[in-house]
Chain A
Amino acid sequence: KAGVTQTPRYLIKTRGQQVTLSCSPISGHRSVSWYQQTPGQGLQFLFEYFSETQRNKGNFPGRFSGRQFSNSRSEMNVSTLELGDSALYLCATCAGLAGGGEQFFGPGTRLTVL
């Protein structure tokens, strides 16, 4: 079974720009969660999507948004980038049934904002 894939792996943007990151889950996984990882704040939950609906949301500003497609692939978007948005963005997927499944992470997208 193929693992979680994330594209692109690396991105460099400038302040004020926007960015879209993509996550393809393991086959059969319908839940996709996004996390931001930084040295200072650690791993922080952004949001979770299940069957194209946002099911849970973390404490991030509205500049961070996401969506999920009918094939369970998910994208997250960050608008009006700030220097502090530089981070490793990770997605994690699981079956999503009754919150009891193991979550598997992708390799992440390293975003650098200049």
Chain B
Amino acid sequence: QQQVKQSPQSLIVQKGGISIINCAYENTAFDYFPWYQQFPGKGPALLIAIRPDVSEKKEGRFTISFNKSAKQFSLHIMDSQPGDSATYFCAAKYVGNEKLTFGTGTRLTIIP
């Protein structure tokens, strides 16, 4: 049972553009939603995370938008750069439990 659905599977964006990756979850007990960035040969690195009591969180060029009623959240990368080319994973977990349930990943490619 896939509890976190992520789309698209791959994404190509021009340099300077906005990259948008979407996730939807099923378990309403989830209360923490992180995004991870992974480069080839490396472990996932925490980018930004949000809790459901806010609808948006911004850190530099990265923004999470959260829609609790729709059970959806998305990552926006503004002014996308070639160095942002990586695989991005959304995830979710709930209070009292460290288990992260991951989406299937999005391979992002930024072209010059």
Contacts and interface: CB of A to CB of B under 8 A. Distances in A.
Interface in B23-82: 32, 34, 36, 41-46, 49
Contact of B46 (A31, A58, A104): A104
If over half of B's interface residues share one DSSP class (helix, strand or loop), that class is named, otherwise mixed; here it is loop
Instruction: Bin chain A's interface residue count.
Output: 20 to 34
Interface in A90-114: 90, 92, 94, 96, 98-108
Nearest to A108: B43
A84 interface: no
Contacts, number: 65
B97 A99 contact: yes
B99 A43 contact: no
Most chain A CB within a 10 A radius of its CB, from B34, B91, B96, B99:
B99
A53 interface: no
Given A33-B100, A42-B105, A43-B89, A98 B95 contact: yes
Interface of A: 4, 6, 31, 33, 35, 42-43, 45, 48, 50, 55-56, 58, 90, 92, 94, 96, 98-108
